[in-house]
Structure 1
Amino acid sequence: MSLRSVTIIKDKVNDRSYPFSIPSIKGSNSITFTSEVTFFVGENGSGKSTLLEAIAYQCGFNTAGGGRNNMYEIKSSNSTLGEHIRLSWLPKINQGFFLRAESFFHFASYLDQLSVDSPDIFRSYGGKSLHEQSHGEAFFSLFNNRFGQKGIYLLDEPEAALSPARQLALLRIIRQLVKEGNSQFIIATHSPILLGYPESKILNFDTTPVSEIEYEDTDHYQIMKGFLNRRDLYLKELFKEDTE
């Protein structure tokens, strides 16, 4: 594990302006990482992806998705928070990747542009254009071929393109890379499957300040378990207005 903590620098910032007005950001001064695999959980708008992008910014990764050497421009979310955090490393590493599900299409297009002058570029991504693969296949080409060197991997909702079976396969890839002692993962997710990774730490962005939460206490686990165990009851309650 290399990234030890993130400190939010709040001097001379307006805590009524975005993103400093987000309760999880406003109420937290620092976040400590104590596991090779850390998950960020919380409702949409809770700040988990915002902080993940800020970490990517400080790592020198493209905040639209990619690594340190992936230079392309698309409209991406505000990087203001990235300019107001400090990362503590032991040791410092410069390799890694920021996976952003919502802009992965643009990253794939960027690789296609590079391939015009560098046809071998696809060797690091499964041997062919990511656009020639399904969304899930393209993600796995990235995981299997790009995530092999010592580095920090920041994944923003990787389950977006993955079936439940592929999510389990991703857990196996993460496990292998962690066992080799080469990798640290920070993952923002809504997936109760991914959250089940053993010995991981889960940080809840629905609390102020951000706090650790046990897997079984997450809404993701509770809601999914309740739905699977009592589907008829859940649907009856959900649709009760239709029968009134």
Structure 2
Amino acid sequence: MFLKRVSLKNVDSEKYGEYPFCIPSIRTLHNVDFKSNVTFFIGENGTGKSTLLEAIAYQAGFNTAGGSRDNCFTLEKSGSSLGDFIRLSWMPKITSGFFLRAETFYDFASHIDDLGPESIIHYGGKSLHEQSHGEAFLSLLNNRFGKDGIYLLDEPEAALSPLRQMALLKIIHDLESNGKAQFIIATHSPLLMAYPEAQILNFNGSCIENIEYEDTDHYKLTRDFLNYRERYLQELFRN
């Protein structure tokens, strides 16, 4: 691992009513210790997963609109409201890597096109816009992820079918098992968070806590729905 800990700096209590400190898991954040090369941030929408991931990207020097240190393009509301309030502890410090934001991927692909053919070569030699959303994601992952670095992925499953989510698991395994990469991934996908020996941090609405895969709501709900689909649907559609 490269990144060992994220710590919240002292925050004036008068900010607790303001975003992002109005989010309970962020307000109660003290230290988050990373114990695996692969860590998942999970939890319901609005619990602070992406907010913390974005702040890590900001402190790592990555473009918070998506990309690495070298990708210079801006988008409205692509900054980090939390970035100046956290501290990263590294061993060793590393500056290479990538921040993948599913919601701004279209803008990132346009940025690469604007840079010209020399840049497109590094993404498989074909414009990301000339591929399907899922194909473009995998093209980025296969061609841009490969050297020592920290890779921050915000809901990568948004563009990936279940089969291609498993392809992503293989990419993660090939990189991290060779000691080349650390991954921190915000996700709702029970397929992705099944990665062996991954650390799962649950943003449960009031704090951030370690949780076992089989104890996550994502696993339990998916398992029960598949086993008792008709019962779930009857209950869901009941007037």
Which range, TM-score by smaller chain?
A: over 0.9
Look up the match of 2:57.
56
CA contact (8 A) 2:146 2:175 kept: yes
Look up the match of 1:188.
186
Q: In 1, distance between residues paired with 2:237 and 2:166?
A: 32
Look up the match of 1:120.
118
Look up the match of 1:29.
30
Q: For the aligned residues, what is the CA RMSD? A: 0.9
Q: In 2, distance between residues paired with 1:195 and 1:11?
A: 32
TM-score in terms of structure 2 length: 0.98
Deviation at 1:49, TM superposition (A): 0.3
Higher alpha-carbon deviation: 193-202 or 7-16: 7-16
Look up the match of 1:155.
153
Look up the match of 1:92.
93
Corresponding residue SS for 1:240: coil
List structure 1 segments (4+ residues) > 2 angstroms apart after TM superposition: 10-13
% same residue: 62
- Aligned ranges 1:156-235 → 2 under 5 Å: 156-235=154-233
* 1:152-180 Cα shifts (integer Å, max 9, x gaps): 00000000000000000100010000111
Deviation at 1:42, TM superposition (A): 0.5
- Aligned ranges 1:63-78 → 2 under 5 Å: 63-78=64-79
Look up the match of 1:12.
12
Deviation at 1:122, TM superposition (A): 1.3
Corresponding residue SS for 2:45: coil
CA contact (8 A) 1:8 1:30 kept: yes
TM-score in terms of structure 1 length: 0.96
* 1:62-112 Cα shifts (integer Å, max 9, x gaps): 101100010001113451200100000000000000000000000000011
Letter paired with 2:112? L
Q: In 1, distance between residues paired with 2:11 and 2:155?
A: 31
CA contact (8 A) 2:6 2:31 kept: yes
Deviation at 1:209, TM superposition (A): 2.4
